[in-house]
């Protein structure tokens, strides 16, 4: 059956997946954004819904310390004896494990794992559990290391042992994303090499014994490094699994590039069928594609429009770093947002900010807000955001005794737009295409008028490019600001591509 990649769109890198019966659960990286580690659910592999987040309470991890590109990296999800386990890395805290009987909620506080390296993974094998990362050994060569562990407490039960040094001739290798599997008579080790950009790939090795020695596969299982024209780049960092019908698959990260490899949407989650030859997994034709064929059992549905329900804090909303929760008042038919002293541009700020991942190159975002600022420099509206050093603001702003519609950019030279705003509520709209955003506003029920056309955010705006574009609401101002922002609607809807 034919389907389209990515299966989880927008900023959703480093996917990991597990199956329980006929249900599939997938997690991805979330970096400095809270809540952390989104959990997606599907019964058919191509239609996914976010059901929760593993890091759902502000006290679980110190998000207030997370600068852009820091925070949560590369989770792995596994299921064993009635519990789901997710392990990941939080920069400055280290590796940790959380567990829950219900993947939608109720995740434990993190237990720390005193093993260095990143991209941790767990293998449950018989009555034992094993933990692996890209911790280096005594020779300081890039490596994958393994230890036995108690996954409930994080206690390490053996000494770390290097089991593989990778297969790439590139230097540096960026040997990352290890997963160990026991399939038949073999232990398989999948990893990523080449870095998470143009040279990214999935490599593999196997052994009869979990501790090795591991024999490398002669070539990468997957890479799009020399495949311009496929509409896919950066393929790598995968997780292997078997569906309930006996078919094998991998989920992996890749981009839909807007230049030679970078995408302002970020790294997304792709799905490829896997076959076996000579006891080695074969991932499709070794290349990832947008349009694929696989042994599916249900049709893939188009993305549905997303509309805010202000009676609750929906799973999809993201804050940047640790939110000041008193600044967000969900009141059923509206959200009241208190302008923060911290600004979007603050490297360790906790701004009033609530956003969604941009799911498609072509999409539309609309909101209706009312804000009557009382203090100089107070502003509220929409932001197109990658990091504190790269974003657009499209807002109502107070300057002198006048309220204005303003558009400005942080991260590149840009001529701001500024014109007087009429009194009362305003509707703001962003129409996104592959290369640009067109911004509109409307007052008092009138038709939209175009305000500005701006280019998409670039690799220079994104820094290391670990995250992707979010579009959402924000409010910031001086300590003397007395009024709150009232938002009565927010929706995002996508074109098919």
What residues act catalytically? Answer: 14, 176
Q: Which residues pair with 428 in a beta bridge?
A: 367, 441
φ/ψ (deg, to 5) at 52: 175, -165
- Contact status, residue 287 vs residue 222, Cβ threshold 8 Å: yes
Q: Is 45 helix (H, G, I), strand (E, B) or coil?
A: coil
Beta strands in 332-476 (DSSP E): 335-337, 352-357, 363-370, 379-387, 390-399, 402-410, 417-420, 426-432, 436-443, 449-455, 470-476
CA distances from 131 to 4, 234, 313 (A): 33, 26, 34
Question: Strand 222-223 and strand 215-216: pairing?
Answer: unpaired
Cα separation, 47 vs 42, in Å, equals 6
Task: Give CA torsion, residues 459, 464, 466, 471, to 10 deg.
Answer: -40
* Residues near 126 by beta carbon (within 8 Å), at least 6 away in sequence: none
Residue carrying structure tokens 């997606």: 40
Sign, Cα dihedral of 105, 340, 93, 87? positive
Give the strand pairing for 215-216 and 144-148: unpaired
Residue 327 has a CB neighbour count (10 Å cut-off) of: 21
- Locus of tokens 């599916």: 296
d(CA 187, CA 371): 60
The DSSP annotation for 75-139 comes to: EEEEEETTEEEEEEEETTTEEEEEEESBTTB-PPPPEEE---SSS-EEEEETTEEEEEE----TT
Residue 8, CA distances (Å) to 12, 16, 199, 221, 435 in order: 7, 12, 22, 21, 21
CA distances from 114 to 160, 180, 201 (A): 11, 19, 28
Partnered with residue 57 across adjacent β-strands are none
């Amino acid at each position: 059956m034919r389907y389209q990649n990515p299966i989880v769109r927008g900023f959703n890198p480093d996917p990991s997946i597990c199956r329980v019966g006929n249900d599939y659960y997938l997690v991805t990286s979330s970096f400095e954004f809270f809540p952390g580690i989104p959990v997606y659910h599907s019964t058919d592999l191509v239609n996914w819904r976010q059901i929760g987040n593993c890091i759902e309470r502000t006290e679980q991890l110190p998000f207030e310390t997370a600068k852009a590109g820091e925070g949560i990296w590369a989770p792995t999800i596994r299921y064993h004896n009635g519990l789901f386990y997710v392990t990941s890395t939080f920069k400055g805290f280290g590796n940790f494990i959380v567990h829950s009987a219900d993947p939608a909620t109720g995740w434990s506080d993190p237990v720390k794992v005193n093993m260095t390296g990143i991209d941790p993974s767990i293998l449950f094998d018989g009555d034992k559990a094993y933990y692996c990362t890209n911790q280096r050994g005594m020779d300081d060569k890039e490596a994958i290391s393994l230890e036995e562990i108690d996954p409930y407490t994080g206690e390490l039960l053996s000494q770390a042992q290097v089991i593989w040094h990778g297969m790439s001739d590139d230097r540096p290798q960026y040997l990352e994303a290890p997963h160990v599997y026991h399939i038949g008579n073999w232990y398989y080790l999948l990893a990523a090499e080449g870095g998470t950009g143009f040279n990214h790939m999935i490599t593999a090795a196997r052994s009869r014994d979990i501790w090795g020695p591991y024999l490398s596969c002669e070539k990468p299982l997957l890479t799009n490094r020399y495949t311009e024209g496929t509409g896919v780049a950066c393929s790598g960092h995968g997780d292997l699994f078997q569906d309930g019908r006996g078919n094998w698959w991998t989920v992996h990260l890749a981009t839909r590039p807007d230049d030679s490899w970078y995408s302002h949407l970020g790294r997304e989650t792709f799905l490829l069928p896997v076959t076996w030859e000579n006891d080695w997994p074969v991932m499709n034709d070794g290349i990832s594609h947008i349009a694929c064929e696989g042994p599916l059992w249900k049709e893939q549905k188009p993305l549905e429009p997303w509309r805010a329900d202000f009676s609750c804090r929906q799973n999809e909303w993201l804050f940047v770093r640790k939110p000041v929760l008193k600044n967000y008042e969900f009141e059923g038919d509206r959200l009241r947002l208190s302008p923060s002293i911290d600004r979007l541009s603050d490297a360790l700020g906790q701004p009033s900010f609530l956003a969604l991942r941009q799911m498609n190159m072509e999409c539309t975002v609309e909101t209706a807000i009312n804000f009557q600022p009382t203090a100089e420099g107070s502003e509220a509206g929409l932001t197109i955001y990658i990091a504190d050093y790269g974003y657009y603001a499209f807002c109502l702003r107070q300057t002198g005794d006048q309220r204005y519609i303003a558009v400005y950019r942080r991260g590149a030279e840009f001529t701001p737009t500024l014109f007087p705003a009429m009194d009362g509520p305003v509707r703001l709209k962003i129409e996104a295409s592959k290369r640009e955003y067109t911004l509109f506003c409307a007052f008092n029920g009138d038709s939209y008028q175009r305000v500005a056309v701006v280019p998409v955010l670039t690799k220079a705006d994104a820094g290391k490019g670990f995250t992707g574009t979010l579009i959402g609401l924000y409010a910031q101002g001086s300590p003397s600001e007395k009024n709150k922002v009232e938002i009565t609607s927010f929706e995002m809807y996508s074109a098919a591509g």
